[in-house]
């Protein structure tokens, strides 16, 4: 069973969408980084991601990895948020037939998976149709 | 920098090799390559393997394999860049010989994938993605490529039939390859009716889970000529990285790392992509081959689907792609693929490819890719 | 003067009809529907639980409150389906909202009235002045045992209330609580489903405490039903709250805006709190609202609120309760319901 520290470390991102905005070129790093991949600057201002956007692409996973075995089939997508950041997440509360490129979505707090019967419960974000 | 030649190749049949362990799987083709080269010693070994740790609990792989190849105390290293581990091993071996550091180098690639369940294998393959921002959300490799396919279909009008045609072509070629995992033909209808893995990709759009290995022996081209061996030279090597997460790419429909690695390799060889007689590329999924032909410049951006439909990349076409059957029909033991691509190109340039021989082949290019394009390695080979 | 500064709700979109459950157990659907005055209930998706619903309901409350989450000094989550037996739902909630680290939190349990107990505690902190704002949530994804009467009604939902002394949308005029040891419904540690005393859950349990609390708070306030615009009772089924209202002398008009159970089911700790969020969605400034919860074991909490002008400014800052209840519904079959609610035994 993995140490819960690895997930706990990502809470500011997974729970509150905390990101870093490069003070020189405006690149938004999610998760935050030490060095801007666009301009090499090392200073970032605290920011949070926009909470809604549009799907750029999507698919429906029918063969899952073992952690998500019980959840298949489930939809995933990449959305471009209102602030230009592109994010990958599951798309839920949506009939598969309704998925399409350009669909407006927003972010919601959901359970990702549980570490078996006795382990930690992992929470994070998913897209729901706007 | 010295000229580098490939003087020995080795590969055994790929598939679900239940009775072969990881070490046996590697040693058999490695011995074939050593025999083919006729060398009596090695100066160094480089092994490409994505994840012997997750698949069989075995790390420290280079040491294990040098031991079982009977080559201790030869220096041995294992390199990893997900599915391009084999191509990366080839590049490291090339650099060792070209720089003068070593003369005779064994480059091998191996993966033993069937000692875990299907779901565990999917998880292990998924480690090539961004664990915290893709894997955490339940993404798999078929899903990531499916998203690239959806974007490509939306932007360029690529069709599911065109995707299926890649599988049909590669199985056609693979049916002529006695070492292929699936040496049988498939039809477009068969692909389109096969079970869905991640919409729109179906099981026949996806390369399989495979056990297998391949090996080559590299040495300075001058040494090859003195040994009176056909000096198939590696004239270009290029590698490039890109963002690990698909969502961070500038263009979801374009594989920039392959484009850059290809440019570098061709520039080093002083060649253009049109000079190549054949290509062995990384068709982990049918959409990948389409996007790779665009990124390498074999066809214009967006025209990869049309090109396969028009037969441009078939065995008898103007730009044969994957005469070996590709990952799709030949199989994809992850770390071995990049080296097997080299084995095929060398066979073709030696004129030893039998039924799938590209007539008069003198120059070939291999392209090996990791993840969704986070790394790409390209090599150019030329016969004297 | 202290009261509600922001309120919010979260209801999953899946629904299962009484007929669908009755079909599986060979029960007579029309008599259940008539007897319980219930048509369908909400079902949480596998990725929804008390914590996720609490987070989304609280975010809606924050939107209406318009405060910085760091100003929240205490967070209380009341539920009988906390995801952990030990590790508070409140810490995940506080972390997700950005109220950490300077915040008190604890989880509460009192069957269906854990939510309103949380409201009382949160309100009291503000009144006493130890915190500036406090948050109380009632949320549940309760289980009814397969084939048991409670399976028709056990549903999922969450309601959140931020209390403070300024920016009020509804002032708390009075609070009251009526508690006795009454073993009408309980669940022992390590048991998956609760047990209950059948018809004993009626007059000696629900009605004794609801009527006791209602009469008690109205006496304390010097009010009669005529002085109140709206009343919300705990809703284990459609019948009980209507009967309680009838006995006390309330009209249907006073009860209907907060009477969600026929299409929602019993959301346990969320039950009367969601009735309150639905009522606040339509109440006018000056309206007085009485809330009487019920939790088995047993007890009832009473509140009387007076709506302020500010409610008109902020009510549309977040989604309305009835919009979540009535729109975008996803009807599921019993097999999917059993899979979602983990009633199917799988391989180890």
Instruction: Kindly tell me if the per-residue pLDDT of C136 is higher than 90.
Output: yes
DSSP annotation of C110: B
Judgement on whether residues A43 and A64 belong to the same structural domain of the protein:
no
Judgement on whether residues C186 and C282 belong to the same structural domain of the protein:
yes
Q: Which residues of A touch C48 (CB under 8 A)?
A: 110-111
pLDDT digits (tens, 9 = 90+) for A35-77: 999 999 999 999 999 999 999 999 999 999 888 988 999 999 9
- Angle at which helices C114-128 and C271-280 cross, to 10°: 60
The Cα C342–Cα B17 span in angstroms is 38
Which residue from A10, A68, A96 is facing B138, i.e. has the nearest CB?
A68
Judgement on whether residues A66 and A29 belong to the same structural domain of the protein:
no
The Cα-based distances of C149 to C27, C36, C194 in angstroms read: 10, 10, 12
Judgement on whether residues C281 and C142 belong to the same structural domain of the protein:
no
Residue C144, pLDDT score = 86
Joined together, the tokens standing for residue B248 give: 């961070």
Joined together, the tokens standing for residue C202 give: 């009626």
Judgement on whether residues A119 and A58 belong to the same structural domain of the protein:
yes
Judgement on whether residues C64 and C139 belong to the same structural domain of the protein:
yes
**Contact between B197 and A63 using a beta-carbon 8 Å cutoff:** yes
Q: What is the mean pLDDT of residues B29-57?
A: 97
Joined together, the tokens standing for residue B185 give: 């033909």
Question: For chain A, how far is it from start to end, CA to CA, in angstroms?
Answer: 36
CA distance B118 to chain A (A): 8
Judgement on whether residues C333 and C304 belong to the same structural domain of the protein:
no
Q: Could you please report the per-residue DSSP string of A36-79? A: -TTT----EEEEE--SEEEEEEEEEESS--GGGGGG-SEEEEEE
Judgement on whether residues A67 and A108 belong to the same structural domain of the protein:
yes
Judgement on whether residues A43 and A94 belong to the same structural domain of the protein:
no
C-alpha of C307 from chain center: 19
The Cα-based distances of B331 to B183, B184, B380, C334 in angstroms read: 10, 12, 22, 42
Judgement on whether residues C96 and C192 belong to the same structural domain of the protein:
no
Which chain A residue has the Cα nearest residue C100?
A12
Please check whether residue A24 is in contact with residue A81, taking contact to mean a CB–CB distance below 8 angstroms: no
- Angle at which helices B22-37 and B61-68 cross, to 10°: 60
Domains of chain B and any CATH numbers: 4-117+210-226 (3.40.47.10), 138-207+235-382 (3.40.47.10)
Which residue from C13, C92, C95 is facing A93, i.e. has the nearest CB?
C13
Listed in sequence order, the residues at least 6 apart from C347 whose beta carbon sits closer than 8 Å to its beta carbon are: none
Chain B neighbours, 3+ Cβ pairs < 8 A: A
Residues of C serving a catalytic function are 80, 112, 234
Instruction: Kindly tell me if the per-residue pLDDT of C348 is higher than 90.
Output: no
Judgement on whether residues C65 and C132 belong to the same structural domain of the protein:
yes
Please check whether residue B286 is in contact with residue B201, taking contact to mean a CB–CB distance below 8 angstroms: yes
Residues B244-267 as b or e (16 or more Cβ within 10 Å = b): bbbbbbeebbbbbbbbbbbbbbbe
Please check whether residue A106 is in contact with residue A69, taking contact to mean a CB–CB distance below 8 angstroms: no
Residue with tokens 């389109």: B192
> Domain count of chain C?
2
pLDDT digits (tens, 9 = 90+) for B362-373: 999 999 999 999
User: Where residue C346 falls among pLDDT bands split at 50, 70, 90?
Assistant: confident
Helix, strand, coil: what percent of chain A each, to 5?
Answer: 15, 45, 40
Residue B195 half-sphere exposure, CB side, CA atoms within 13 Å? Answer: 4
Residue C142, pLDDT score = 85
The beta strands (E) that lie in C142-287 are given as 156-164, 170-182, 185-186, 195-196, 230-233
Q: Does B contact C via 3+ CB–CB distances below 8 Å?
A: no
Q: How many of the other CB atoms lie within 10 Å of CB of C336?
A: 15
> Domain count of chain A?
2
Residues in chain A: 130
**Contact between A88 and B133 using a beta-carbon 8 Å cutoff:** yes
pLDDT digits (tens, 9 = 90+) for C104-121: 999 999 999 999 999 999
- We report the CATH number of the domain holding residue A74 as 2.40.50.840
Residue C346 lies in a domain: no
Which chain A residue has the Cα nearest residue B151?
A57
Please tell me which residue, C348 or B102, carries the higher pLDDT value: B102
**Contact between C47 and A93 using a beta-carbon 8 Å cutoff:** no
Judgement on whether residues A62 and A116 belong to the same structural domain of the protein:
yes
Judgement on whether residues C45 and C72 belong to the same structural domain of the protein:
yes
**Contact between A77 and B147 using a beta-carbon 8 Å cutoff:** yes
CA distance C17 to chain A (A): 19
The Cα B121–Cα B114 span in angstroms is 8
Judgement on whether residues A55 and A35 belong to the same structural domain of the protein:
no
User: Where residue B335 falls among pLDDT bands split at 50, 70, 90?
Assistant: very high
Judgement on whether residues C332 and C279 belong to the same structural domain of the protein:
no
Judgement on whether residues A63 and A116 belong to the same structural domain of the protein:
yes
B 154-213: CB under 8 A from A: 154, 195-201
Judgement on whether residues A26 and A73 belong to the same structural domain of the protein:
no
Residue A107, pLDDT score = 98
The Cα-based distances of C47 to A106, A109, C129 in angstroms read: 16, 9, 38
Judgement on whether residues C21 and C157 belong to the same structural domain of the protein:
yes
Last residue in a domain, options A29, A48, A67: A48
Which chain A residue has the Cα nearest residue C87?
A120
Number of H helices, E strands in chain C: 13, 14
Residue C178, pLDDT score = 98
What is the SS3 assignment for C333?
A: coil
Q: What is the mean pLDDT of residues B232-254?
A: 97
Residue A67 sits at the chain C interface (C-beta within 8 Å): no
Listed in sequence order, the residues at least 6 apart from A94 whose beta carbon sits closer than 8 Å to its beta carbon are: A75, A128, A129
Residue C8 lies in a domain: yes
The Cα C42–Cα C271 span in angstroms is 12
Chain C neighbours, 3+ Cβ pairs < 8 A: A
Residue C20 lies in a domain: yes
Share of chain C above pLDDT 90, in %: 95
Which residue from A70, A90, A110 is facing C52, i.e. has the nearest CB?
A110
Range of the domain at C119: 3-169+320-340
Range in A106-115, B116-125, B168-177 with the lowest mean pLDDT: B116-125
Calculate the dihedral angle through the C-alpha atoms of C221, C285, C319, C97, rounding to the nearest 10 degrees: -60
Judgement on whether residues A129 and A116 belong to the same structural domain of the protein:
yes
What mean pLDDT is reported for chain B?
Answer: 97
pLDDT digits (tens, 9 = 90+) for A87-101: 999 999 999 999 999
Instruction: Kindly tell me if the per-residue pLDDT of C96 is higher than 90.
Output: yes
The Cα A16–Cα C118 span in angstroms is 24
Q: Which parts of B227-285 fold into alpha helices (H)?
A: 256-269
Joined together, the tokens standing for residue B138 give: 């339940």
Please check whether residue C134 is in contact with residue C75, taking contact to mean a CB–CB distance below 8 angstroms: yes
Joined together, the tokens standing for residue C88 give: 């508070």
User: Where residue C347 falls among pLDDT bands split at 50, 70, 90?
Assistant: confident
Instruction: Kindly tell me if the per-residue pLDDT of C296 is higher than 90.
Output: yes
pLDDT digits (tens, 9 = 90+) for C231-289: 999 999 999 999 999 999 999 999 999 999 999 999 999 999 999 999 999 999 999 99
Residue C25 lies in a domain: yes
Residue C39 lies in a domain: yes
The Cα B204–Cα B178 span in angstroms is 20
Q: What are phi and psi of A66, to 5 degrees?
A: -60, -30
- We report the CATH number of the domain holding residue C136 as 3.40.47.10
Residue B384, pLDDT score = 85
CA distance A87 to chain B (A): 6
Catalytic (active site) residue B137: no
Judgement on whether residues A65 and A25 belong to the same structural domain of the protein:
no
* Cα–Cα nearest to B312, from B329, B331, B289: B289
Instruction: Kindly tell me if the per-residue pLDDT of B277 is higher than 90.
Output: yes
C-alpha of B215 from chain center: 12
Instruction: Kindly tell me if the per-residue pLDDT of A29 is higher than 80.
Output: yes
Residue C56 half-sphere exposure, CB side, CA atoms within 13 Å? Answer: 29
What does DSSP say about strands B363-370 and B278-280: parallel, antiparallel, or unpaired? parallel
Q: Could you please report the per-residue DSSP string of A92-106? A: -SS-GGG--TT-EEE
Residue A2, pLDDT score = 75
Judgement on whether residues C65 and C188 belong to the same structural domain of the protein:
no
pLDDT digits (tens, 9 = 90+) for B98-144: 999 999 999 999 999 999 998 889 889 999 999 999 999 999 999 99
Residue A69, pLDDT score = 87
Burial class (CB in 10 A: 0-12, 13-18, 19+), C80: buried
Residue B53, pLDDT score = 97
Residue C203 lies in a domain: yes
Residue C192, pLDDT score = 87
Please check whether residue B96 is in contact with residue B102, taking contact to mean a CB–CB distance below 8 angstroms: yes
Residue C273 lies in a domain: yes
Listed in sequence order, the residues at least 6 apart from B78 whose beta carbon sits closer than 8 Å to its beta carbon are: B46, B47, B48, B49, B61, B62
Residue C54, pLDDT score = 98
The Cα-based distances of B171 to B50, B317, B348, B358 in angstroms read: 25, 16, 18, 16
Residue A31: cis peptide before it, omega within 30 degrees of 0: yes
Residue A55, pLDDT score = 98
Judgement on whether residues A40 and A104 belong to the same structural domain of the protein:
no
Residue C288 lies in a domain: yes
Judgement on whether residues C289 and C176 belong to the same structural domain of the protein:
yes
Share of chain C above pLDDT 70, in %: 100
Instruction: Kindly tell me if the per-residue pLDDT of B380 is higher than 80.
Output: yes
Determine which one of B83, B206, B219, B284 is catalytic.
B83
Range of the domain at A98: 50-130
The Cα B365–Cα B268 span in angstroms is 13
Judgement on whether residues C8 and C127 belong to the same structural domain of the protein:
yes
Residue C84, pLDDT score = 96
């Amino acid at each position: 069973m993995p140490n819960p520290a690895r997930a706990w470390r990502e809470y500011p991102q997974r729970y509150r969408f905390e990101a870093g905005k490069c003070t020189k070129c405006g690149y938004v790093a999610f998760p935050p980084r030490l060095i801007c991949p666009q301009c090499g600057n090392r200073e970032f201002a605290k920011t949070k991601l926009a909470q809604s956007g549009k799907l750029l692409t999507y698919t429906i996973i029918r063969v899952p990895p073992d952690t998500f075995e019980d959840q298949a089939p489930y939809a995933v997508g990449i959305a471009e948020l209102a602030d230009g950041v592109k994010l990958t997440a599951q798309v839920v509360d949506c009939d598969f037939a309704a998925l399409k490129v350009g669909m407006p979505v927003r972010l919601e707090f959901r359970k990702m998976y549980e570490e078996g019967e006795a382990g930690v419960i992992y929470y994070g974000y998913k897209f729901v149709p706007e | 920098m010295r000229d580098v030649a490939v003087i020995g190749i080795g590969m055994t049949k790929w598939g679900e090799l239940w009775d072969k362990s990881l070490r046996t799987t590697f040693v058999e083709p490695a011995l074939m390559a050593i025999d083919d080269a006729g060398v009596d010693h090695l100066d160094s070994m480089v092994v490409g393997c994505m994840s012997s740790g997750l698949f069989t609990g075995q790390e420290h792989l280079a040491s294990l394999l040098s031991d079982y190849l009977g080559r201790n105390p030869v220096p041995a290293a294992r390199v990893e860049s997900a599915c391009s581990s084999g191509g990366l091993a080839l590049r490291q071996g090339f650099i060792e010989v070209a720089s003068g550091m070593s003369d005779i180098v064994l480059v091998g690639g191996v993966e033993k994938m069937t000692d875990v369940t299907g779901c565990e294998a999917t998880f292990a393959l998924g480690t090539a993605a961004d664990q915290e921002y893709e894997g955490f959300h339940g993404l798999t490799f078929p899903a990531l490529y499916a998203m690239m396919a959806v974007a490509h279909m939306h932007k360029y009008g690529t069709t599911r039939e065109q995707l299926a045609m890649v599988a049909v072509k590669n199985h056609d070629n693979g049916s002529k390859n006695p070492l292929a995992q699936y040496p049988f033909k498939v039809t477009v209808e068969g692909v389109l009716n096969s079970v869905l893995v991640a919409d729109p990709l179906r099981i026949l759009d996806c390369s399989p889970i495979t056990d297998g290995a391949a090996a080559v022996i590299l040495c300075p081209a001058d040494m090859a000529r003195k040994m009176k061996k056909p000096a198939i030279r590696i004239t270009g090597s290029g590698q490039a990285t890109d963002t690990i997460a698909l969502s961070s790419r500038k263009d979801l429909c374009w594989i920039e790392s392959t484009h850059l690695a290809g440019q570098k390799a061709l520039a080093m060889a002083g060649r253009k992509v049109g000079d190549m007689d054949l290509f062995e590329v990384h068709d982990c999924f049918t959409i990948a081959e389409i996007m790779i032909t665009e990124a390498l410049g074999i066809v214009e951006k967006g025209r990869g689907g049309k090109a396969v439909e028009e037969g441009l990349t078939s065995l008898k076409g103007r730009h044969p792609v994957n005469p070996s059957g590709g990952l799709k029909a030949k199989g994809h033991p992850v770390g071995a693929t990049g080296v097997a691509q080299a084995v095929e190109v060398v066979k073709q340039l030696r004129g030893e490819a039998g039924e799938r021989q590209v007539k008069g082949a003198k120059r070939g290019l291999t392209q090996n890719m990791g993840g969704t394009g986070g790394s790409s390695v390209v090599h150019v080979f030329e016969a004297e | 003067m202290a009261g509600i500064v922001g309120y919010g709700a979260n209801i999953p979109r899946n629904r299962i009809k009484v007929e669908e459950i009755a079909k599986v157990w060979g029960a007579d659907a029309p008599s259940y529907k008539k007897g319980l005055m219930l048509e369908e209930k909400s079902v949480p998706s596998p990725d929804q639980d008390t914590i996720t619903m609490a987070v989304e309901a609280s975010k809606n409350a924050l939107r209406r409150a318009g405060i910085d989450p760091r100003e929240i000094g205490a967070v209380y989550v009341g539920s009988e389906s906390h995801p952990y037996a030990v590790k508070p739902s409140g810490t995940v909630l506080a972390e997700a909202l950005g109220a950490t680290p300077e915040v008190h939190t604890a989880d509460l349990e009192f069957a269906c009235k854990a939510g309103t107990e949380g409201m009382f505690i949160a309100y009291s902190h503000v009144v006493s002045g130890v915190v500036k704002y406090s948050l109380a949530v009632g949320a549940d994804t309760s289980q009814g045992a397969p084939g048991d009467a409670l399976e028709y009604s056990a549903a999922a939902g969450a309601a959140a209330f931020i209390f403070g002394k300024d920016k009020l949308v509804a002032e708390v005029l009075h609070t009251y609580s009526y508690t006795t040891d009454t073993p009408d419904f309980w669940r022992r540690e390590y048991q998956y489903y609760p047990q209950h005393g059948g018809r004993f859950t009626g007059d000696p349990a629900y009605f004794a405490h609801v009527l006791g609390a209602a009469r008690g708070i109205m006496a304390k306030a010097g009010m009669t039903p005529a002085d109140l615009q709206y009343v919300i009772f705990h809703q284990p089924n459609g019948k009980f709250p209507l009967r309680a209202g009838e006995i006390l002398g309330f009209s249907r008009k006073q009860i209907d805006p907060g009477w969600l159970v026929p299409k929602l089911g019993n959301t346990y700790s969320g039950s009367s709190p969601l009735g309150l969020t639905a009522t606040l969605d339509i109440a006018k400034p000056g309206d007085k609202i009485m809330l009487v919860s019920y939790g088995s074991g047993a007890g009832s909490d009473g509140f009387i609120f007076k709506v302020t002008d500010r409610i008109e400014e902020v009510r549309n800052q977040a989604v309305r309760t009835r919009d979540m209840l009535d729109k975008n519904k996803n009807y599921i079959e019993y097999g999917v319901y059993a899979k979602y609610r983990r009633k199917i035994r799988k391989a180890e």
